[in-house]
Structure 1
Amino acid sequence: MKIAFVGKGGSGKTTLSSLFVRHLAAQGLPVVAIDADINQHLGVALGLDERRAAEIPAMGDRLPEIKEYLRGDNPRISSAAAMVKTTPPGSGSRLLRLGGDDPVHALGRDVDGVTLLATGPFNDDDLGVACYHSKTGAVELYLNHLVDGPGEYVVVDMTAGADTFASGLFTRFDLMFLVAEPTRKGVGVYRQYTDYARDYDVAITVVGNKVQGDDDVAYLREHVGDDLLTWLGQSAAVRALEQGRGGVALESRNLDALDRMRAAVDAREQNWDRFRRQAVEFHVKNARSWANRAVGEDLEAQVDHGFRFPVPVPG
């Protein structure tokens, strides 16, 4: 199952991403965590020191190699250079399985049973000559070629704000957790996200954060209604983790919230036909708007209309 954490900057989405990842891993479940935020903090939130987190190879820096591997011997793709972030798989493409023996997962680092991947930071060399979507394109290609099944989890900590919708990446998820504080700005981001997603078959549910009492819950319910799935309150355990201390148990009410989040994910039915259709739609859109000119080919010809994902059997 593919899961995104989104929200405004400072809402706590990286903290909640890490809590959810830890919660799944503690139950022995297979988890890949991806730091796709322009500010790379997920590794530290999962317990790495800053040096080790910074040493994780950047997916964005390995994009040519990733493309070459995923291309395989797909005859519709003339070269790895002709692949763009939206290029969908077809006959001959290499598909990925969670934690598989492939050059993409090899970029990850094991963190207490979690495979952690990172897009890489937006650094000084990128200023003025690149946009962050050139890095998140590696994540989009990864998700487009990933065959994951029930009981397998890919958790992506997305970049903050409306940039989430600047590419087709937002359609690659079975469920998006929108982390919202009980404030006007927090619920304002919710309205913005639902407006952007209205014309797409995208599942968004709200997780309240930094909730201090019943008034905060009532405020969220007033503004997001039934989209409010659950909420987390102030936490001594989270504060300890943020200070680099362990051994403080997460409060039962916050554990219950994480259980509810997992149940919401597990209740989602993976719709591979929709996943494929949206990938093709965004690829054609990108081809016509910029990619054909950039590559010098008709990239719509990369679409293999007869291709179907080999859907994994549960268990």
Structure 2
Amino acid sequence: MKIAFVGKGGSGKTTLSSLFIRHLAACSAPVVAVDADINQHLGAALGLDEAESAALPAMGAHLPLIKEYLRGSNPRISSAETMIKTTPPGEGSRLLRVREENPVYAACARPVRLDDGEVSLMATGPFTESDLGVACYHSKVGAVELCLNHLVDGPDEYVVVDMTAGSDSFASGMFTRFDMTFLVAEPTRKGVSVYRQYKEYARDFGVALKVVGNKVRDADDLQFLRDEVGEDLLVTVGHSDWVRAMEKGRPPRFELLEADNQAALRALREAADASYARRDWERYTRQMVHFHLKNAESWGNAKTGADLAAQVDPAFVLREELALTQPG
């Protein structure tokens, strides 16, 4: 299943996504973690030092390889150059699976060893000096969206994406790629403002959204969040000595994380599992096509010089059983 962590800058979404990833690894679940934030901190939160984090390959730098691999033998896609971030898979396309080796993972994913297991970490790559003033960050995140469009997953597999801050993901259809979106909100007016944006934008697309209250200190903080987000509030997290030690680069073993925070992570997994069980694969594919056609008309056709609507395979539907077949 695919899970996103979102929230305003400084809300703690990277910290909470890293805790959730550690929790899944401790449960021996296969995990692909993706840092899709413009500020790349997920690697550090998972225990990488500065040099190791800096050495992570940037997905955006491997976009030609990603496109060529995913295109496969799809007759509707004339060349990798005509693929854009929203290009959907069709007959002949290569799909990504969580538990496999493929050229995309070989180029872009790196193993990260945690206390109780190992996860694969991918990163969009940070803004570089050459990008300033001439590049949009959505061009970086486009590699993530393309991979998510071509990734077929099962119920016991997890793809966890630490998203860019705020509501930037609504600039494309990537917000519909997730079975569950966890919005991390502090108990402040600014903290819940991104929640309101997400709730409004996602209303018409059936996006599963739950709020994780962070930095909740007392009953007043809890009541504030309940008043502001209602039944969308799933769990709350308060001060954590374990997290403070982790932020200093000296985390104890994960099993020593506070019991109430361990319980909160279990609740997140249960909510994500339940949401995946309700996934409508036909709607999931239909939404992918919807945003591809929108992007094709607004800018993609002009950029590529091709009619990108012709890339849509009307008979193709992503389905769970495709995760069991071997890639071509």
Task: Give the equivalent residue in structure 1 for 2:133.
Answer: 128
Determine whether 1:298 maps to 2:297. Answer: no
Task: Give the equivalent residue in structure 2 for 1:256.
Answer: 263
Matched residue type, 1:39: N
Q: Give the TM-score taking structure 2 as reference length.
A: 0.94
Distance 1:189 1:297 in 2: 36
Distance 1:277 1:148 in 2: 17
Task: Give the equivalent residue in structure 2 for 1:31.
Answer: 31
C-alpha distance after superposition, 1:160-187 (max 9, x if no partner): 0121211111110001000000001011
Q: Give the TM-score taking structure 1 as reference length.
A: 0.98
Match of 1:196 among 194, 201, 217: 201
CA RMSD of superposed structures (Å): 1.3
Matched residue type, 1:140: E
- SS where residue 161 of structure 1 aligns? coil
Determine whether 1:270 maps to 2:275. Answer: no
Match of 1:205 among 201, 204, 210: 210
Distance 1:145 1:231 in 2: 33
CA shift, 1:310, in A, is 4.0
C-alpha distance after superposition, 1:226-274 (max 9, x if no partner): 0000011100000000001122621111111101000001111222111
- SS where residue 104 of structure 1 aligns? helix
Task: Give the equivalent residue in structure 2 for 1:51.
Answer: 51
Percent identity over paired residues: 66
- SS where residue 239 of structure 1 aligns? helix
Q: 1:299 to 1:314 in 2, by over 3 A?
A: closer
Contact 1:150-1:314 at 8 Å conserved across structures: no
CA shift, 1:199, in A, is 2.1
Gaps of 5+ in 2: none
Contact 2:281-2:319 at 8 Å conserved across structures: no
CA shift, 1:308, in A, is 2.1
Gaps of 5+ in 1: none
Distance 1:314 1:208 in 2: 34
**Aligned residues, how many?**
315
CA shift, 1:213, in A, is 1.4
Contact 2:243-2:251 at 8 Å conserved across structures: no
Distance 1:79 1:70 in 2: 11
Distance 2:161 2:121 in 1: 10
Match of 2:183 among 175, 178, 187: 178
Task: Give the equivalent residue in structure 2 for 1:116.
Answer: 121
Contact 2:97-2:323 at 8 Å conserved across structures: no
Distance 1:80 1:6 in 2: 31
